[in-house]
């Protein structure tokens, strides 16, 4: 998504969004690709997944019901298409 669209969706000033995107890029959580006059940003899902896993690791203190809502929110939002390549970690 172009930086301007991201800023509009989040109601953040463009210069502030640019700063945030630069930080996320340096952290390896997003990547940028120039397309004509726009820069398109994409999440690096493996890096985001690792960060989220790190942040929630052991968050429940032995009580998984505490983290269940958060884990549900982090679960995949899309059901794979029939015939799509299966993820070996999830069968």
4-42: per-residue pLDDT in tens?
999 999 999 999 999 999 999 999 999 999 999 889 999
pTM value > 0.75: no
Q: pLDDT tens digits for 45-86?
A: 999 988 887 877 777 777 777 877 877 777 766 656 555 555
Of the candidates 19, 24, 28, 45, which has an alpha carbon nearest to the alpha carbon of residue 7?
19
Give just the sign of the alpha carbon dihedral 46, 52, 57, 63: negative
DSSP β-ladder status, 30-35 and 38-43: antiparallel
Q: Compute the mean pLDDT over every residue in the chain, rounded to the nearest whole number.
A: 82
């Amino acid at each position: 998504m172009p930086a301007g669209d991201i800023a509009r969706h989040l109601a953040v000033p463009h210069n502030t969004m640019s700063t945030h995107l630069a930080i996320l890029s340096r952290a390896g959580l997003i990547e940028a690709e120039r397309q004509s006059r726009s820069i398109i940003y994409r999440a690096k899902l493996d890096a985001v997944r690792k960060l989220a896993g790190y942040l929630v690791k052991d968050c429940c203190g032995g009580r998984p019901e505490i983290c269940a809502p958060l884990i549900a929110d982090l679960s995949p939002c899309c059901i794979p298409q029939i015939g799509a390549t299966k993820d070996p970690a999830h069968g």
